[in-house]
Chain A
Amino acid sequence: MLKQCEGSHAVAEAVALSRPEVICAYPISPQTHIVEGLGEMVKAGEIKDCEYINVESEFAAMSVAIGSSAAGARTYTATASQGLLFMVEAVYNASGLGLPIVMTVANRAIGAPINIWNDHSDSMSQRDCGWIQIFAETNQEAADLHIQAFKLAEELSLPVMVCMDGFILTHAYERVDIPTQEQVDKFLPPYSPRQILDPAAPVSIGAMVGPEAFSEVRYLAHAKQMQALELIPKISKEFEEIFGRNSGGLVRPYMLEDAETVVIALGSVLGTIKDTIDEMRADGISIGVLGINSFRPFPVSAIRRALSHAKRIVVLEKSLAVGIGGIVATDVRMALDGLDKRIYTVVAGLGGRNITRSSLHRVFRMAMHDQLEALHFLDLDWNIVNKEVDRERTTRRSGPIAENILRDLGQTKSNVG
């Protein structure tokens, strides 16, 4: 049914339709509306046989999720930013134990300085945690991916992180087609755990394992993710058959055939990029975009195949690996190992900075003419940066950077003296 609704609400409805049995979450912007919505639905009795557990922190949220999932309950939680970091130890345990928990990460920057707006720093910090990480481009896809995520997680017995851009998606109202319960039930069977807990036959889960077995356990975790590379497109196809629309998959090509320049990106910014590309194509420029839907596992072959004709690649990413540059770009380089292609990294949209079509036009054209430096920071205000660098060079007690910059910008907030 078509609905005009907030992205968070669409996700809450999709999760509810997936018949979760335990929902445990701690509020943090911009994820809060999702679990708020689910809390209301549980309270109103709209989700049958579901326990909503209030927890005292994100660490507790993931710990409870581990317990309930191990006990055989379909388990959901959501978090963002500092919340994700706070639960990290348990995040690794969830994947190490192979528990099919589904978690939304409403992508948000990480402090300091504290910043509640969108970028991909939070989930990127967990790229090696063993969870499957899939990114939503639109609210429709965010809703759809959650339904697919439960199926994916439970078939593999691995946790899945559904990443959606904080505020840009979570707080945006747009048209979403909410599926019916019959459709979801047809697509998603009840959870049948790999192992069940039975007091009559006690086992120890996640206890100490020494060097004799640890490497094998880690390899098996990797092998499972490799299986996901086959399963994700399969599930996407099954989804399309029942729901009648294409959602998910490994990668999403757009105007890729014959494109000399290919942009790679994740999440909602793909919309702006596609609009830009439409305009550039109208100008006769040979450019396309490849959206990455599955970041973990990283679809090396699919990307290599999709980029076989490209001359140059611009990886535009909302994250920064401080000290080297791109995170996604590094993985793309790996996918294109041995091929002779220029790869540019454009770091954009950090801490919620708008990514505008005019800026994209500019960097894409610079890339086309191979005038872009290997690592480019979109719309960076060099005046500000140079001032601060100069200040630090000349003054020992130069003070806090963020406050200095705000003062330079003339945005003296009440708490900046």
Chain B
Amino acid sequence: MNKPFAITLNVGSSLANKTGSWRSFRPAYVNRLPPCNNACPAGEDTQGWLFHAESGDYEAAWRHLTEANPMPAVMGRVCYHPCEGACNRGQLDSAVGINSVERFLGDEAIKQGWKFAAPAAETGKRILVVGAGPSGLSAAYQLRRMGHQVVIFEAGPLAGGMMRFGIPKYRLPREVLDAEVQRILDMGVEMRLNTKVEDLLKTMKEEKFDAAFLAVGAHIAKRTAIPAAESAKILDAVSVLRSMEGEDKPMLGRRVVVYGGGNTAIDVARTAKRLGAEEAIIVYRRTRDKMPAHDFEVEEALQEGVMMRWLSTIKQVGEGAIQVEKMELDENGKPVPTGEFDTLEADSVILALGQDVDLGLLNGVPDLSFEDGVVKVGENMMTGYPGIFAGGDMVPSDRTVTVGVGHGKLAARHINAWLAGTTYVKPPKKELATFEKLNTWYYTDADKTVRPMLDIIRRQSTFDEVQGGLNEDNALFEARRCLSCGNCFECDNCYGVCPDNAVIKLGPGKKFEFNYDYCKGCGVCVEECPCGAIKMEAEAS
């Protein structure tokens, strides 16, 4: 080419000047802990699987998710999603609908028939899991992935535990549960239904189990002494919900009173409404804000016509009516009786006062310790008896499906290590990616996608699922609302702002590295990183 004189020149270079030598601080790419991951009782890498969902690779997202939790379709329905409570986006507009994306991925997996991979190698170890609830299933899945032989002993006629016999259908359709349980069994997990373990040590010895994970749950209803007439109909919530799964639906009458303030009380009151009760009244001794039940469930129950009687205790149950005493809160917020009484018409009273654990299988097992009716376990989820681990509702916990799944996973890791004669050490927690570490200016405004709710009339008369799911379009949108807190999502900002061209792009999915020969340590990349995935470190002097 005939180049214009002195205007177009051969390419020169200033690469001989290694400006990196000027640096006193250096930037470094880091992975911080996103608050959603931090808050997840099941230990899901939420931000990690959302990252795949954002690019529409739902199978990769599902596979990433199920490393921690084998039942996303269940979890996407019943989890109380503490992740969303912790989500940094909540301080910007509203939290990412993590739970709804999880459900979408779970449903998509069922639709597409995605399966778990079989373990790479068999260890030859045999592990007993007692109880096919969330915790037992989670442990069985994790242990099977590690190559152990797993046998689940389930006392009930069907798998699922409280997911089947406690959570009503309108929150968790049974075909969803069945599909996710079956997928775990398809990995080669053996399940023995209607098989109650009466003597744990004997069973372990007879069947040559190397270790056991106990997750029998808590399904013995707590009772309270209330004077009652001979003909009074007093039921407990656990039995009522359990009988919903059988042929004979419970007969509750036209006016049903539920006693208690937890999620179970809400579930049973909403169930009663659907069974045709004209009145379903929850009697609770404190006020709404003191209720252990989640507020959105209280709200949904109210929408469906469930009535609430706050600050009341049941003093007496007669035939067709009950006597309640009004309470008031003292200066410490404790309910105290007022001596004022009232009468409510009631055909039946359902007690929802919490559940105890049936610890019968542990008879004869030495060195165990108990507290408040549950088994004490160490940080490694092992009971006082070596090789016997426990989790879920039968150990001290918040008693949610998510906590149960988390216990199962954690116990599986410890069992795996214990069997190998080693100890599982949790990797140290990374620094938390707090809101202050983000540059939210860079993110586009995007309102949360609200999941559709079933029509109120159907909610009052059928057991159809109340909350709908997202479709592919809005699930993708919702996933893309993720700010990727503390973890690089390859936005190219650092690459674009670096005044020294010292950010090297390694290609899609491979992120970046710094060329410290030329990085002057100005820190612009750190300042302008939207998600707080770079930090400055002092140079060693």
Report yes or no: A96 in contact with B11, Cβ–Cβ below 8 A: no
Report yes or no: A213 in contact with B3, Cβ–Cβ below 8 A: no
Nearest A-chain residue to B9, judged by Cβ: A204
Report yes or no: B8 in contact with A220, Cβ–Cβ below 8 A: no
Nearest B-chain residue to A213, judged by Cβ: B6
A216 in the interface, Cβ–Cβ < 8 Å? Answer: yes
Report yes or no: B1 in contact with A201, Cβ–Cβ below 8 A: yes
A217 in the interface, Cβ–Cβ < 8 Å? Answer: yes
B124 in the interface, Cβ–Cβ < 8 Å? Answer: no
Within B1-18, the residues touching A (CB, 8 Å) are 1-12
A204 to B8, CA, bound (A): 6
A188 to B11, CA, bound (A): 34
A336 in the interface, Cβ–Cβ < 8 Å? Answer: no
Report yes or no: B9 in contact with A220, Cβ–Cβ below 8 A: no
Report yes or no: A196 in contact with B7, Cβ–Cβ below 8 A: no
Q: Which of A195, A207, A209, A213 contacts B1 (CB under 8 A)?
A: A195
A190 to B6, CA, bound (A): 27
Residues of chain A with a CB closer than 8 A to B12's CB = 204, 207
Report yes or no: A216 in contact with B7, Cβ–Cβ below 8 A: no
Closest Cβ–Cβ distance, residue A67 to chain B (whole Å): 15
Report yes or no: A203 in contact with B10, Cβ–Cβ below 8 A: yes
Residues of chain B with a CB closer than 8 A to A206's CB = 7
Residues of chain B with a CB closer than 8 A to A216's CB = 5-6
Q: What 0/1 pattern do residues 192 to 234 of A give for CB contact below 8 A with B?
A: 0011100001111111010001101100100000000000000
A375 in the interface, Cβ–Cβ < 8 Å? Answer: no
Q: Which of A96, A195, A217, A220 contacts B3 (CB under 8 A)?
A: A195
A98 to B4, CA, bound (A): 9
Report yes or no: A203 in contact with B4, Cβ–Cβ below 8 A: no
Residues of chain A with a CB closer than 8 A to B4's CB = 97-98, 157, 194-195
Q: What 0/1 pattern do residues 295 to 313 of A give for CB contact below 8 A with B?
A: 0000000000000000000
Report yes or no: A207 in contact with B5, Cβ–Cβ below 8 A: no
Closest Cβ–Cβ distance, residue B69 to chain A (whole Å): 48
Report yes or no: B5 in contact with A203, Cβ–Cβ below 8 A: no
A157 to B11, CA, bound (A): 22
Q: Which of A196, A207, A214 has the most CB of B within 10 A?
A: A207
Q: Which of A97, A202, A217, A220 contacts B11 (CB under 8 A)?
A: A202
Report yes or no: B5 in contact with A217, Cβ–Cβ below 8 A: yes
Residues of chain A with a CB closer than 8 A to B6's CB = 209, 213-214, 216-217
Within A94-143, the residues touching B (CB, 8 Å) are 96-98
A195 to B3, CA, bound (A): 7
Known A204-B12, A207-B12: A96·B1 in contact at CB below 8 Å: no
Report yes or no: B10 in contact with A204, Cβ–Cβ below 8 A: yes
Query: What is the predominant secondary structure among interface residues of chain A facing chain B?
Result: loop
Residues of chain B with a CB closer than 8 A to A98's CB = 4, 7
A18 to B194, CA, bound (A): 86
A217 to B5, CA, bound (A): 7
A33 to B451, CA, bound (A): 48
A216 to B7, CA, bound (A): 11
A194 to B3, CA, bound (A): 8
A73 to B505, CA, bound (A): 30
A417 to B6, CA, bound (A): 57
Residues of chain B with a CB closer than 8 A to A96's CB = 7
Q: What 0/1 pattern do residues 162 to 204 of A give for CB contact below 8 A with B?
A: 0000000000000000000000000000000011100001111
A202 to B13, CA, bound (A): 12
Report yes or no: B8 in contact with A213, Cβ–Cβ below 8 A: no
Closest Cβ–Cβ distance, residue B501 to chain A (whole Å): 15
Residues of chain B with a CB closer than 8 A to A213's CB = 5-6
Residues of chain B with a CB closer than 8 A to A202's CB = 11
Closest Cβ–Cβ distance, residue A227 to chain B (whole Å): 14
Closest Cβ–Cβ distance, residue A281 to chain B (whole Å): 50
A213 to B5, CA, bound (A): 9
Report yes or no: B5 in contact with A195, Cβ–Cβ below 8 A: no
Closest Cβ–Cβ distance, residue A156 to chain B (whole Å): 12
Nearest A-chain residue to B6, judged by Cβ: A213
Q: Which of A157, A203, A214 contacts B9 (CB under 8 A)?
A: A203
Nearest A-chain residue to B13, judged by Cβ: A204
Closest Cβ–Cβ distance, residue A88 to chain B (whole Å): 19
A351 to B9, CA, bound (A): 44
Q: Which of B1, B5, B11 contacts A204 (CB under 8 A)?
A: B11
A8 to B252, CA, bound (A): 84
Nearest B-chain residue to A218, judged by Cβ: B6
Nearest A-chain residue to B12, judged by Cβ: A204
Residues of chain A with a CB closer than 8 A to B5's CB = 213, 216-217, 220
Closest Cβ–Cβ distance, residue B235 to chain A (whole Å): 71
Closest Cβ–Cβ distance, residue A72 to chain B (whole Å): 12
Known A204-B12, A207-B12: A97·B1 in contact at CB below 8 Å: no
Residues of chain B with a CB closer than 8 A to A209's CB = 6-7, 9
Closest Cβ–Cβ distance, residue B2 to chain A (whole Å): 8
Residues of chain B with a CB closer than 8 A to A205's CB = 7-9
Report yes or no: A207 in contact with B3, Cβ–Cβ below 8 A: no
Closest Cβ–Cβ distance, residue A134 to chain B (whole Å): 23
A96 to B12, CA, bound (A): 20
Residues of chain A with a CB closer than 8 A to B1's CB = 195-196, 201, 203
Residues of chain B with a CB closer than 8 A to A217's CB = 5-7
Q: Which of B2, B6, B9 has the most CB of A within 10 A?
A: B6
A213 to B8, CA, bound (A): 12
A220 to B4, CA, bound (A): 10
Residues of chain B with a CB closer than 8 A to A204's CB = 8-12
Closest Cβ–Cβ distance, residue A272 to chain B (whole Å): 43
Q: What 0/1 pattern do residues 1 to 44 of B give for CB contact below 8 A with A?
A: 11111111111100000000000000000000000000000000
Residues of chain B with a CB closer than 8 A to A196's CB = 1
A209 to B4, CA, bound (A): 13
A202 to B12, CA, bound (A): 10
Closest Cβ–Cβ distance, residue B39 to chain A (whole Å): 42
A45 to B444, CA, bound (A): 30
Closest Cβ–Cβ distance, residue A154 to chain B (whole Å): 14
A205 to B3, CA, bound (A): 10
Q: What 0/1 pattern do residues 74 to 93 of A give for CB contact below 8 A with B?
A: 00000000000000000000
Residues of chain A with a CB closer than 8 A to B2's CB = 194-195
A416 to B1, CA, bound (A): 62
Residues of chain B with a CB closer than 8 A to A194's CB = 2, 4
A152 to B39, CA, bound (A): 69
Closest Cβ–Cβ distance, residue A288 to chain B (whole Å): 42
A220 to B6, CA, bound (A): 10
Residues of chain B with a CB closer than 8 A to A201's CB = 1
Residues of chain B with a CB closer than 8 A to A157's CB = 4
Residues of chain A with a CB closer than 8 A to B9's CB = 203-205, 207, 209
Nearest B-chain residue to A210, judged by Cβ: B6
Closest Cβ–Cβ distance, residue A225 to chain B (whole Å): 15
A98 to B6, CA, bound (A): 12
Within A312-351, the residues touching B (CB, 8 Å) are none
Nearest B-chain residue to A203, judged by Cβ: B8
A251 to B7, CA, bound (A): 32
Nearest A-chain residue to B7, judged by Cβ: A97
Q: What 0/1 pattern do residues 17 to 42 of A give for CB contact below 8 A with B?
A: 00000000000000000000000000
A217 to B3, CA, bound (A): 13
Closest Cβ–Cβ distance, residue B267 to chain A (whole Å): 57
A96 to B7, CA, bound (A): 8
Closest Cβ–Cβ distance, residue B466 to chain A (whole Å): 48
A209 to B5, CA, bound (A): 10
What are 9 A-B pairs with beta-carbon distances under 8 A? A98-B4, A195-B8, A196-B1, A203-B1, A203-B3, A203-B9, A204-B8, A207-B12, A209-B9
**Nearest 9 CB-CB pairings of A with B:** A213-B6, A204-B9, A209-B6, A217-B6, A202-B11, A203-B8, A205-B8, A204-B11, A207-B9
- Starting from the known contacts A204-B9, A205-B9, A209-B9, 18 additional A-B residue pairs (CB-CB under 8 Å) come to A96-B7, A194-B2, A195-B3, A195-B4, A196-B1, A201-B1, A203-B3, A203-B8, A203-B9, A203-B11, A204-B10, A205-B7, A209-B7, A214-B6, A216-B5, A216-B6, A217-B6, A217-B7
Which A residues are closer than 8 A to B by beta carbons? 96-98, 157, 194-196, 201-207, 209, 213-214, 216-217, 220
